[in-house]
Structure 1
């Protein structure tokens, strides 16, 4: 590796398992030779190797970043001989040795002996696990899947650094203590903006109204320097990122760390949207039918009233200066592979279609189902104790759970029609309702007299509830929800009858897919997207009690055997993914 005249020293700095080394090179040295030396695979070893000159050249006064790129490039090579012939003589050389799996690297001085340059090397290489960085977007529909994947990988022996902001890290589920040595929760403060743009303490989409999310993206983009320095220090094997950090392309290329895109959408949704490389703005008309690359029968498409707001958001150049469409395209194109929270048993044909579309490995990592904790007093106390007591008194599979997440902003008409539908259905229900922004008090959130008319068979709980524990309760038999992918997986894990009422982003596409698979009933809506209480009641009774939907209830029970199979998802899908992380070769399951 040739360095121009005038470079007086080389400083290589790293942290963690690496060494800090400074080598002073005499003034006037015209070149520095970097050796490619194979280390014997023992915990501590001494290896004699002859210095080989690389063909790479670096610019004057470029130090660590250039060496790091060279190390990263070498890490994927497998060297089969500890002796490499010297191609060129020099008075002094430095050797950087990289193992075939790049678990560690080191620097050693090379000295002249009998006209050859001999490298004396020492390293510890035997037991370091694969290291990777997780970088999700600041929304809990993204943070939670990334966190679940981090836990699954840590259980498989992979070292994970999960990056987010302090407040979001605090709001994550508790990390199992047995994984503390493998899963590091890395906190970077979110850069502040003007308070009128981003309120103090807002670190996730749940903290702000929809119109301010563009400023959250602007602040998120300003995390780039901190993330870059972290990558410089750690040099992970892989970076797994979300759609939002489009700037990870530059970081991964500069330091030759492989990038992977974890697409938290369902495989049918991602296949519908395509590779994201189109240059012209998308139109509502283009989204109301399956695209041409879906060559099998499919009903996954938007209705016009859904396509119009989606296009407005996707095409918008927001305060961050880049549209979501461009973010997705940049990350997707620069990634070595694409991950889906999916499995072939549920979404196989869409996974295959997306792989043909993008021409790179598309890896289903399993559905990451939850391992249910035992109910304890802490959980009961947090929801005032009466919810589980009430559920315990209900008949098996009789109760409808109603919930639309923390970020679905329902209008007054929508909330009231849902309430009228629950009342008319005559079914037991548990409704987790966040106080709407238009309501001044909890009482204003529901129609007058609703509580009194339904108190004998239903509960409306305002605030946070332990959703996973509630969905797992044996009295819950159905779910009325927005068709978000995470909640879909949770509901299917326990064999619930699904009634879907989608509102935004890819929820309508997931709803169509679930209906297509015979796993859900979608609430009927008018052309403008409105619906009535009668529509809600009809769908609920059809899913829960009517004989005509007996096949749907059978289908969801069969799906539960797949979705809830922890061994399938951890020992099969995660294990195959870990093997890909090790050797970089995807063997389709």
Structure 2
């Protein structure tokens, strides 16, 4: 008599509607699949198109992974059909993407009841999902798209908001100390996340996010323990449920088909001197003003350094006409490469020619720079990016601020504080090829380079990240309905 086949261990992943959240969760989903787990990623149609090639490429290796679509509530939230991501809406319509979080609860709940997965892993922004999953009697894991340092700092800042308001009311943007953390971390009111400074979905629904953390069974933080051990330990103490620190980088283990743009960029980088190129990117959904964009172009030109600038339409407000100074691209031809659209950021950072990274301080970009051992020039714009900057410049000391003057997380304020071309050139011009820079730059390079082998060791197939992943999967498989958390 044949024994019935054992049911597969099926895990559903639910990422938020923006590449900076989707990409690390898809990375984690691929890691689960590589451990023999049957993986399904829940996505809306437009967001599925963004990562379908990655899912298909992974499935082609024989791993059990697929996507499952649910409708985006375009009409309900007042967005055009097909506009389903923070990376495709204007700044003024971002709240509509957040409102969709509540509007899709019915669709997600219906899919979970229909398919009854073994486990659900969801972005922390889907606050209602934890309670849905709890009612189904299956374990639930909350995924945080950024690291332990910003999680700890933001938690501490929330307790100081009354003091910050007092500073703001006095009209003085003076630094205040974030208490209860391992390092000296100072913030100013204008650089706090915008969701603390204005009416915002995230701040207004803070109680829902906290309830979700109570209803879940575990948390996963998108980081590597060895780069921030003190903050990982502190967050583990602060959290209600067990915390796992996982950043597997599986996408680097799965062969990626070369695109024409990737080949063109690689060929250009191959012609540059080792460590000479300054890479510039502000992520997938950040704005800089048209005036600031032109000053940046002039600053890069004045610096005399080779540069590669990933320019997206979301980097500026408007239609993009006359964005760059007249004749700019012809004047920098050969020394500078302006790429309009998607670029292979990991490959660029990992190229031997890349010597510095002007970044908005998004958590994924920060981690990718550390993986490549590349020092950073920080230019935070919004959300928790000014907090992340403190981690790079004050804790790890692997980066410099582009500008020490007034800055703001609110775009209308930031637009009034334009960093001039001369100031940009002064900072960028210091990043000469290795061995040619001043003592501070050489020290930054040396410290940044130390993280490459450290991270490589942790993410290797027998490294600590994979061991922790196995520990999490085994705990999920051993889950007994009714348990509050994983043993």
TM range (shorter): 0.7 to 0.9
Aligned counterpart for 1:525 among listed residues 397, 404, 421: 404
Aligned twin of 1:189: 71
Aligned twin of 1:303: 188
SS in 1 for 2:252: coil
The Cα of 1:286 is off from its aligned counterpart by: 8.5
- Quote the Cα distance in structure 1 between the aligned partners of 2:228 and 2:19: 23
The Cα of 1:253 is off from its aligned counterpart by: 2.6
Aligned twin of 2:44: 165
Q: Indicate the RMSD between aligned Cα atoms, in angstroms.
A: 3.0
- Quote the Cα distance in structure 2 between the aligned partners of 1:285 and 1:179: 57
Change (3 A) 1:167 1:354: same
Aligned counterpart for 1:551 among listed residues 436, 443, 446: 443
Aligned counterpart for 1:316 among listed residues 200, 203, 206: 200
* CA contact 2:18–2:87 (8 Å) conserved in 1: yes
- 1:162-185 C-alpha deviation (Å, 9 max, x unpaired): 111112112104221346652221
* CA contact 2:34–2:63 (8 Å) conserved in 1: no
- What is the TM-score when the length of structure 2 is the normalising length? 0.84
* CA contact 2:31–2:248 (8 Å) conserved in 1: no
* CA contact 1:136–1:163 (8 Å) conserved in 2: yes
- 1:107-137 C-alpha deviation (Å, 9 max, x unpaired): xxxxxxxxxxxxxxxxx36x44432221111
Aligned counterpart for 2:54 among listed residues 160, 164, 174: 174
Aligned twin of 2:32: 153
SS in 2 for 1:274: helix
Say whether 1:357 aligns with 2:241: no
- Quote the Cα distance in structure 1 between the aligned partners of 2:209 and 2:370: 28
* CA contact 2:377–2:399 (8 Å) conserved in 1: yes
Change (3 A) 1:249 1:344: closer
The Cα of 1:202 is off from its aligned counterpart by: 0.7
Aligned counterpart for 1:538 among listed residues 413, 426, 429: 426
SS in 1 for 2:441: helix
Aligned twin of 1:571: 466
What is the correspondence of 1:20-35 to structure 2 with a 5 Å cutoff? none
Aligned twin of 2:109: 228
SS in 2 for 1:226: helix
Name whichever structure is richer in helix by fraction.
Answer: 2
- 1:481-502 C-alpha deviation (Å, 9 max, x unpaired): 1111111122222211211111
Change (3 A) 1:317 1:189: closer
- Quote the Cα distance in structure 2 between the aligned partners of 1:410 and 1:248: 34
* CA contact 2:359–2:380 (8 Å) conserved in 1: yes
- Quote the Cα distance in structure 1 between the aligned partners of 2:156 and 2:129: 18
SS in 2 for 1:163: strand
- Quote the Cα distance in structure 1 between the aligned partners of 2:241 and 2:86: 31
Aligned twin of 2:312: 434
SS in 2 for 1:563: helix
- Quote the Cα distance in structure 2 between the aligned partners of 1:459 and 1:367: 31
* CA contact 1:283–1:311 (8 Å) conserved in 2: no
Change (3 A) 1:455 1:439: farther
* CA contact 2:293–2:324 (8 Å) conserved in 1: yes
What is the correspondence of 1:151-550 to structure 2 with a 5 Å cutoff? 151-172=30-51, 173-175=53-55, 176-178=58-60, 182-193=64-75, 197-274=78-155, 283=164, 289-294=176-181, 296-299=182-185, 301-307=186-192, 309-313=194-198, 315-316=199-200, 323-366=204-247, 368=249, 370-371=251-252, 378-379=258-259, 381-382=260-261, 386-435=264-313, 437-442=316-321, 444-515=322-393, 516-529=395-408, 530=417, 531-544=419-432, 545-550=437-442
**For structure 1, which runs of at least 5 residues remain unmatched after alignment?**
1-41, 45-123
* CA contact 1:275–1:358 (8 Å) conserved in 2: no
- Quote the Cα distance in structure 1 between the aligned partners of 2:290 and 2:120: 43
User: How many pairs are equivalent?
Assistant: 455
Moved more, 573-582 or 515-524: 573-582
The Cα of 1:368 is off from its aligned counterpart by: 2.7
**For structure 2, which runs of at least 5 residues remain unmatched after alignment?**
169-174, 409-416, 480-484
Aligned twin of 2:413: none
- Quote the Cα distance in structure 1 between the aligned partners of 2:27 and 2:61: 12
- Quote the Cα distance in structure 1 between the aligned partners of 2:167 and 2:473: 38
Larger RCO, structure (CA 8 Å, separation 6 or more): 2
Moved more, 510-519 or 432-441: 432-441
- 1:551-576 C-alpha deviation (Å, 9 max, x unpaired): 21111111011233431265333223
Change (3 A) 1:540 1:583: farther
* CA contact 1:369–1:490 (8 Å) conserved in 2: no
SS in 2 for 1:174: helix
SS in 2 for 1:521: strand
SS in 2 for 1:479: strand
- Quote the Cα distance in structure 1 between the aligned partners of 2:167 and 2:67: 41
SS in 1 for 2:387: helix
Change (3 A) 1:403 1:234: same
Change (3 A) 1:281 1:187: farther
* CA contact 2:248–2:466 (8 Å) conserved in 1: no
- What is the TM-score when the length of structure 1 is the normalising length? 0.71
SS in 1 for 2:74: coil
SS in 2 for 1:562: helix
The Cα of 1:456 is off from its aligned counterpart by: 3.8
* CA contact 1:543–1:553 (8 Å) conserved in 2: no
Change (3 A) 1:520 1:573: farther
* CA contact 2:30–2:250 (8 Å) conserved in 1: no
Aligned twin of 2:14: 135
The Cα of 1:339 is off from its aligned counterpart by: 0.9
* CA contact 1:245–1:327 (8 Å) conserved in 2: no
The Cα of 1:523 is off from its aligned counterpart by: 1.5
